[in-house]
Amino acid sequence: MQAFEYANPATLPDALGLLASEWGPTDVLAGGTDLLSLMKEYLHTPKRVVNIKGIKELAGIQKTGAGLRIGALVTMDEIATNAEIRNEYKSLADAAAGIPSPQIRHMGTAGGDLCQRPRCWYYRQGFGLLATKDGQPLVPDGENKYHAIFGGGPAYFVSASSLGPALIALGASVKLVSAKGSRDVPAAKFFVIPKDERTREIALRPNEILTEILVPGAATKSATYEVRQKEALDWPLAVAAVALRMNGATVTSAKVVLGHVAPIPWEAAAAGKLLAGKTITAATAEAAGKAAVEGAQPLSQNAYKTQLAKVAVKRALLDAVKARA
């Protein structure tokens, strides 16, 4: 790891004042589970690391008039075990509880989950976000078992965020703050498919800090279903998060968002549309799963993901209506 300066600001303005205006020289540290891995591999070589763990206003989960506020420093364990979230925003609790180990859930933060870099093995080996060598893309003819089936390139990594799909389905937004002010960005606009190596996969700017997540009031039933190869210590192969607004047993509107199938959490609009006006049964859930994966473009080794995503949608829907409203 390259040597760096460790800054330990106690306030948000102090922290913001320590960030550079371009990517590279500075990095924000919270739980550290991703940043340390990136630094060990020399993928990030910051001159200054800004630890934001001491900034008290970034902690805590609060019910507000508009819904729920989740501070960026809230750990994944807190999200998985918080009673309010488990009861009213089940898809978020599901997503956080799905994270591999208690250790990672204790360290990893909500903000870090959204800002973590892709886990694509080409990216982690230094071939960049678009995974190219001598200008040629490596993924389409390479080891693409865990890569995207949506998006169509040139980026083929999958968004690693656990909370992303559930937050988009719930219509959440994130607050991004810089020294000059703050902006609320819908979770759906926070994730970006990069077109070149200079673009980040998230809307955050280098001089900004993601301070909180705002989830609107829960008049919804929601669930997240992850398909994994094993129960412990692994990334999901395919994920579906669903959020349903209901009138009795009838769906008035639905959002279905897939995870680990595209460089961003992938909203399956067709599936949501299909469910409006229906009740959730095994048959409608299956039809929604089918609609969700229409247009998938699997690579040479990952056609299996289409089937897994389809089943994940079905199971998430059936789970959501089982859960209490």
Partner 1 sequence: MRTMELRLNVNGSAQRWTIAPGELLLDVLRRQGYFGVKRGCEKGECGACTVLVNGRAVNSCLMFAAQAEGAHVLTIEGLAEGEKLHPIQEAFLDHGAVQCGFCTPGMALSAKALLDRCPHPTDAQVREAMAGNLCRCTGYLKPVEAVLAAASGMAKPPRKRRAKAEVTR
Interface contacts to partner 1, rule CB under 8 A: 1-6, 8, 29, 32-33, 36-37, 39-40, 49, 51, 53, 77, 100-104, 106-107, 231-233
The answer to whether 288 and 243 are in contact (CB under 8 A) is: no
Residues 17 and 14: their CA atoms lie apart, in Å, by 5
* CA dihedral of 28, 29, 34, 38, whole degrees rounded to 10: 60
Q: How far apart are CB 54 and partner 1 at their closest, in Å?
A: 9
* Residue nearer to partner 1 on the CB measure, 161 or 220: 161
Q: How far apart are CB 241 and partner 1 at their closest, in Å?
A: 22
* Residue nearer to partner 1 on the CB measure, 33 or 91: 33
> In one letter, which amino acid is 44?
H
Cα-based distances in Å from 174 to 45, 99, 122, 140: 27, 21, 29, 33
Give the count of alpha carbons within 13 A of 312, CB side only. 30
* Residue nearer to partner 1 on the CB measure, 51 or 284: 51
* Residue nearer to partner 1 on the CB measure, 4 or 304: 4
Q: How far apart are CB 229 and partner 1 at their closest, in Å?
A: 14
Q: How far apart are CB 224 and partner 1 at their closest, in Å?
A: 17
Q: Read off the DSSP letter of residue 175.
A: E
Q: How far apart are CB 17 and partner 1 at their closest, in Å?
A: 19
Residues 296 and 151: their CA atoms lie apart, in Å, by 9
Peptide bond into 137 cis (omega under 30): no
* Residue nearer to partner 1 on the CB measure, 39 or 246: 39
Q: Which residues pair with 67 in a beta bridge?
A: 64, 216
Q: How far apart are CB 1 and partner 1 at their closest, in Å?
A: 5
* Residue nearer to partner 1 on the CB measure, 53 or 290: 53
Pairing, β 5-7 against β 48-51: parallel
Residues 278 and 247: their CA atoms lie apart, in Å, by 10
